[in-house]
């Protein structure tokens, strides 16, 4: 997904820039195009139910307006400490917080979050893509620290179950499937969500959600986080929004959202994705209320979440994008 000059202008006009304190109503379903450090003091208290944080990792990376230089673990920890505690006042006492990291930054993140939150778990997800190394193990996993503000929090495990093909189809004494279902499309088991996620695919060029952002998270990853840790109508907040994945998935799943991103191009991409989400709320790998293993499209009964809106109802400016990926 790319932007034309006209789209840059149109979506650019929608972006918010805060110059003083605002109330939560002003932030509903918006993208703030500013440096996080300039915005933090203007945010209202206690409005966030779910905070998803995907900061730059401790790697040299070009994010357009916000390039990041690799530094020592101590300096990285000190950078995280310069903004993370300032996010505490915006959280409701029942809020959940997810913070992404890779193996290099995971230790620093843990040492900081354990000072401020109740750590509930560390999720590890397989990135699948990754460069092979001659003198090291290929790096293809990342961590997400799952924390809460208090011990009183919402978690819906049923909303994030994984549908797996049954490899060993055990039957009971009467010959009935044991904990699995026999269907026309094959034999499947619904499994409880674990803290090891191996069903994700990093957005690649032929996926509708793909943009030019260098570290875009998969929509399926955000769908797991949002479905497990928020209810419909809850407020989801992302202070490092990037290409907008958190807001887009929150919108598709009926949550309120707001994100902050320094780079204007990424903000406009986020707005374009949000406009597309109005007409197509499908999330690749999530359909019929369950998550599916990778490469299982052939077994899925069609994506029931897709709004299936007739092409002539989609604004002209978004039609070309939609047609490119029409199934």
Ligand X SMILES: C[S@@+](CC[C@H](N)C(=O)[O-])C[C@H]1O[C@@H](n2cnc3c(N)ncnc32)[C@H](O)[C@@H]1O
Query: What does the binding site for ligand X look like in residue numbers (CB under 6 A)?
Result: 35-37, 54, 56, 63, 66, 213, 215-217, 240, 242-243, 245, 260-263, 266
* Closest to ligand X by CB, 37 or 301: 37
Shortest distance, position 319 Cβ to ligand X, whole Å: 24
The residue sitting closest to ligand X, measured at its beta carbon, is 242
* Closest to ligand X by CB, 243 or 287: 243
Nearest to 99 by CA among 157, 156, 56, 150: 56
* Closest to ligand X by CB, 262 or 314: 262
* Closest to ligand X by CB, 2 or 309: 2
Shortest distance, position 264 Cβ to ligand X, whole Å: 10
CB 83 within 8 A of CB 40: yes
Structure tokens at 291: 């998550």
Shortest distance, position 1 Cβ to ligand X, whole Å: 12
| List of residues 6+ apart from 207 with CB closer than 8 A | 201, 284
* Closest to ligand X by CB, 110 or 215: 215
CB 201 within 8 A of CB 220: yes
Shortest distance, position 74 Cβ to ligand X, whole Å: 19
d(CA 207, CA 228): 24
Q: What is the DSSP string of 71-82?
A: --HHHHHHHHHH
Shortest distance, position 186 Cβ to ligand X, whole Å: 32
β-strands 48-53, 91-101: how paired? Answer: parallel
């Amino acid at each position: 997904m790319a932007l034309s000059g006209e789209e840059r202008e149109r979506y650019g006009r929608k972006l918010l820039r805060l110059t003083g304190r605002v109330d939560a109503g002003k932030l509903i379903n918006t993208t703030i195009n500013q440096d996080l450090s300039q915005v933090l003091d203007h945010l209202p208290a206690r409005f966030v139910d779910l905070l998803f944080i995907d900061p730059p990792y401790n790697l040299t990376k070009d994010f357009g307006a916000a390039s990041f230089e690799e530094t020592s673990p101590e300096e990285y920890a000190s950078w995280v400490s310069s903004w993370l505690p300032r996010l505490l006042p915006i959280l409701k006492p029942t809020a959940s917080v997810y913070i992404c990291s890779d193996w290099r930054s995971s230790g620093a993140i843990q040492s900081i979050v354990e000072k401020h939150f109740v750590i509930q778990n560390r999720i590890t997800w397989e990135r699948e893509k990754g460069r092979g190394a001659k003198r090291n193990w290929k790096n293809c996993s990342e961590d997400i620290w799952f924390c809460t503000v208090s011990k009183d929090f919402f978690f819906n495990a049923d909303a994030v179950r994984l549908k797996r093909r049954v490899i060993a189809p055990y039957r009971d004494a009467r010959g009935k499937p044991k904990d699995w279902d026999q269907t026309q499309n094959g034999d499947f088991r619904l499994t409880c969500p674990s803290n090891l996620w191996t069903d994700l695919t990093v957005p690649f060029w032929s996926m509708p959600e793909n943009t030019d952002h260098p570290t875009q998270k998969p929509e399926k990853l955000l769908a797991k986080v949002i479905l497990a840790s928020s209810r419909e109508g809850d407020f989801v907040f992302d202070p490092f929004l990037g290409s907008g994945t958190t807001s887009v998935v929150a919108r598709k799943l009926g949550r309120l959202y707001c994100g902050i991103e320094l780079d204007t191009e990424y903000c406009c991409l986020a707005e374009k994705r949000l406009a597309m989400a109005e007409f197509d709320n499908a999330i690749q790998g999530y359909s019929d209320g369950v998550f599916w293993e990778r490469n299982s499209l052939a077994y899925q009964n069609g994506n029931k979440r897709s709004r299936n809106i007739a092409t002539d109802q989609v604004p002209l400016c978004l039609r070309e994008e939609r047609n490119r990926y029409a199934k």
